[in-house]
């Protein structure tokens, strides 16, 4: 069971990776759709912000007009207050819509990272003017990088200038980024709070970057790189020593004698081949460990230098990413794998139960009316095939990549190969099943199929093999067996009085029939392999022009020895008739009998 599960995991691994790649493609398409949706929503937020800005201008104008009215202009004051109230209500409604829009976008929008030094400082979600969110993120990243790459850095040069609709973050006279109310909505902050938050993050990141690339740190990194190289050389030296020791150990044991690898009586590898294989494996492992040490050293050395961290990540990614994809795909696939294991376990135990019942029936312990012993094994095989076919159908949807076009294409191709390649085989299999359940013959029966006579030595779903009396092995397709007549010489031997062997002799009319009957019966009883009970009997099959045809019939329980029994029977008939002086009229004779000698043979000369 464990081997089956391990084999299933190994076979499924390529399909798991393929399924993971398909899922990545689907996620990429989903991301592009989500990005388009975010851009549309950002435009809607921008439109709402513009409307709110216009409303705020209108509101300021109305408040100014209201302050200039006299006390007696109550009707105008009322109108202006109503307009102000409407503007406030509209503004509140539009802000609510903005908040709800941002909340809905948080579920799908991932934002565009600002990462001037590889690590993400914050993300940009909202477009500003003609710049999309991604373009804003790129522009901010470049500005921060230019500040860090400057000759002299002073973190106190950052300052915030707040305008009517936009709050700007400057470094000296250089604009770093602009913040609007919609940006603050994404962070659930006020505009000034978000400006201070971003300022502190940028100050800290640029300061750490400048310190990282100072002369002192460069000297430290150089020392660390030299240390890594020294450790790598030491590790390679130790690896060589270790494998030199293992090579000597193998050579020493070779001299003492290695038995080789045997599977029962088959020698898979003799002692020399085993020793040579061990030495080659030893060398392969040595170079593998050396290569692995160098490969792991390079990312470690590259990771020390900030400007080569990307190379280190790529080198590690060549190994880690495929393993991560496989392990992640296996982890995601575990529920389906457990389902398959449960289904396979149930089918295996059902099959074991059926196998137990078939053995009980085959051994005669369990008897079912109308169900013969020889049906037990083929019935078990048929049920096993049906169980495994059912298992494949059930677990197919749980296989990794079963919904992918590649998997479906391979399945269709295999189905076509099976359909076109198994036409004749399927006919033979069906014929084999019919022959089994009609019990036409069994293993060991003497049969005649068409013109072929012999003993059945093998009966499979595809062919029936016959061994003739000349030791010829003849394979007959089951479909041919079904299309020709079959004579079973052994069926009555096991279930009745035995097989009747018969042969015909022709005797002249001058011989009394009672004498001929007795001579034939005596000859049969004297033949080895002929049963005494039931006793042989004679039939007079015809009265011809010159002779009478007598047929001797005798029972035997040795149908597989027919040729020998027939030969001995014919010898005994000749002996019996010769001793009695009765002439056998086979072949026919045309002769004048007056004075002529009889055809009886003379006594053999000793």
What is the structure's pLDDT at 568? 93
> Of 106, 137, 153, which marks where a domain is finished?
106
Report the b/e string of 501-533 with b at 16+ CB within 10 A. bbbebbbeeebeeeebbebbbbbbeebebbbee
Residues 201, 122 within the same domain: yes
CATH number at residue 536: 3.30.70.100
Q: Give 165's pLDDT tier (boundaries 50, 70, 90).
A: confident
Residues 235 and 166 in one domain: no
φ/ψ (deg, to 5) at 114:
-100, 105
Question: Residue 142 above 50 pLDDT?
Answer: yes
- Is residue 293's pLDDT more than 80? yes
DSSP string, 512-571: -HHHHHHHHHHHHHTSTT--SSSPPEEEEEEE-SS-EEEEEEEEES-GGGHHHHHHHHHH
Based on the fold, state whether residues 147 and 167 are members of the same structural domain. yes
Would you place residue 523 in the very low, low, confident or very high pLDDT band (cuts 50, 70, 90)? very high
Is residue 261 classed as helix, strand or coil in its secondary structure?
A: strand
Are 83 and 45 members of one domain? yes
Query: Would you say residue 21 lies in a domain?
Result: no
Count of domains for the chain: 5
Q: How much of the chain is in helix, strand and coil states, percent to nearest 5?
A: 65, 15, 20
CATH code, domain with 483: 2.30.30.60
Q: What is the pLDDT of residues 184-215, one digit of tens each?
A: 777 778 888 888 898 888 888 888 877 777 66
Show the tokens assigned to 453. 């006579």
Instruction: Region of 291 please: left (phi>0), alpha (psi -120 to 50) or beta.
Output: alpha
Same domain assignment for residues 566 and 508: yes
Residue 156 and residue 185 in one domain: yes
Q: What integer pLDDT is reported at residue 381 of this predicted model?
A: 84
> What per-residue confidence (pLDDT) applies to 575?
92
Give the pLDDT mean for 107-119.
Answer: 80
In a shared domain, residues 532 and 475: no
478 to each of 181, 396, 400, 471, how far by Cα in Å?
86, 33, 40, 21
Residue range 119-131: mean pLDDT, rounded: 82
594: in domain: no
Comparing 209-223, 347-361, 474-488, the range with the smallest average pLDDT is: 209-223
Question: pTM, whole model, 2 decimals?
Answer: 0.46
Question: Does residue 313 lie in a domain region?
Answer: no
* Whether residue 488 has pLDDT greater than 90: no
pLDDT of 549 over the 80 cut:
yes
Of 270, 304, 338, which residue constitutes the final position of a domain?
304
In a shared domain, residues 44 and 118: no
The verdict on residue 543 lying in a domain is yes
Higher pLDDT, 24 or 383: 383
pLDDT confidence bin for 116, thresholds 50/70/90: confident
3-class SS at 267? strand
Spatial contact of 159 and 134, defined as CB atoms under 8 Å apart: no
- Asked whether residue 122 is assigned to any structural domain, the reply reads yes
Contact of 304 with 224, CB cutoff 8 Å: yes
Angle at 71 between CA 70 and CA 72, to 5 degrees: 95
Mean pLDDT of 441-464: 87
Condensed to tens digits (0 to 9), the pLDDT of residues 328-376 reads 888 888 888 899 999 999 999 999 999 998 888 888 888 888 787 878 8
In a domain, 259, yes or no: yes
Does residue 506 share a domain with residue 482? no
69 and 144 housed in the same domain: no
Domain assignment present for 255:
yes
Domain range for 117? 112-213
Residue 591 has pLDDT above 70, yes or no: no
**Does some domain include residue 586?**
no
121 plus 88 within the same structural domain: no
Domain boundary among 179, 213, 247: 213
């Amino acid at each position: 069971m464990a081997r089956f599960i391990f084999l299933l995991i190994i076979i499924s691994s390529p399909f798991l990776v393929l399924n993971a790649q398909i899922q990545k493609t689907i996620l990429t398409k989903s991301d592009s759709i989500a990005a388009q949706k975010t851009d549309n929503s950002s435009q809607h937020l921008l439109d709402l912000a513009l409307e709110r800005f216009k409303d705020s201008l209108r509101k300021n104008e109305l408040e100014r007009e209201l302050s200039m009215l006299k006390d007696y202009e109550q009707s105008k004051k009322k109108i202006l207050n109503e307009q102000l109230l409407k503007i406030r209500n509209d503004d509140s409604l539009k802000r609510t819509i903005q908040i709800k829009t941002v909340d809905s976008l948080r579920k799908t929008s991932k934002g565009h990272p600002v990462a001037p030094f590889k690590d993400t400082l914050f993300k940009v979600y909202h477009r500003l003017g003609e710049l999309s969110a991604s373009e804003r993120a790129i522009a901010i990243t470049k500005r921060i990088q230019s500040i860090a790459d400057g000759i002299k850095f002073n973190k106190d040069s950052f300052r915030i200038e707040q305008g009517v609709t936009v709050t700007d973050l400057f470094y000296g006279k250089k604009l770093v980024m602009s913040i609007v109310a919609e940006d603050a909505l994404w962070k659930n902050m006020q505009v000034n709070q978000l400006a201070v938050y971003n300022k502190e993050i940028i100050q800290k990141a640029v300061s750490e970057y400048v310190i990282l690339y100072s002369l002192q740190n460069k000297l430290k990194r150089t020392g660390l790189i030299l240390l890594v190289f020294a450790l790598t050389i030491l590790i390679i030296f130790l690896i060589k020593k270790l494998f030199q020791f293992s090579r000597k150990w193998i050579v020493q044991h070779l001299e003492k004698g290695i038995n080789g690898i045997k599977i029962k009586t088959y020698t898979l590898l003799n002692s020399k081949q085993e020793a040579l294989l061990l030495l080659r494996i030893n060398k392969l492992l040595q170079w593998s460990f050396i290569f692995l040490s160098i490969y792991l050293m390079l990312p470690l050395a590259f990771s020390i230098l900030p400007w080569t961290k990307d190379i280190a990540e790529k080198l590690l990614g060549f190994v880690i990413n495929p393993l991560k994809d496989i392990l992640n795909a296996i982890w995601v696939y575990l529920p389906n794998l457990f389902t398959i294991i449960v289904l396979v376990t149930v089918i295996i135990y059902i099959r074991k139960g059926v196998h137990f019942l078939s053995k009980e029936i085959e051994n005669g312990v369990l008897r079912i009316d109308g169900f013969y012993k020889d049906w037990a094994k083929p019935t078990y095989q048929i049920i096993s095939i049906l169980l495994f076919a059912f298992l494949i159908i059930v677990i197919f949807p749980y296989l990794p990549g079963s919904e992918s076009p590649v998997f479906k294409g391979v399945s269709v191709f295999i189905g076509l190969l099976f359909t076109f390649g198994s036409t004749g085989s399927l006919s033979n299999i069906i014929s084999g099943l019919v022959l089994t359940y009609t019990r036409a013959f069994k293993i060991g029966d003497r049969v005649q199929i068409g013109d072929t006579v012999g003993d059945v030595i093998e009966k499979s779903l595809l062919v029936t093999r016959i061994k003739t009396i000349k030791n010829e092995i003849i394979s007959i397709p089951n479909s041919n067996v079904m299309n020709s007549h079959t004579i079973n010489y052994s069926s009555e031997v096991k279930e009745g009085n035995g097989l009747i062997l018969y042969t015909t002799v022709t005797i002249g009319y001058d011989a009394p029939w009672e004498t001929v009957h007795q001579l034939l019966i005596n000859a049969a009883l004297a033949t080895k392999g002929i049963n005494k009970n039931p006793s042989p009997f004679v039939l007079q099959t015809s009265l011809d022009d010159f002779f009478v045809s007598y047929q001797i019939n005798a029972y035997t329980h040795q149908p597989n020895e027919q040729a020998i029994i027939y030969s001995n029977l014919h010898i005994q008939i000749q002996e019996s008739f010769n001793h009695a002086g009765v002439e056998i009229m086979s072949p026919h004779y045309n002769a004048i009998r007056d004075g002529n000698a009889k055809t009886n043979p003379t006594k053999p000369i000793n």
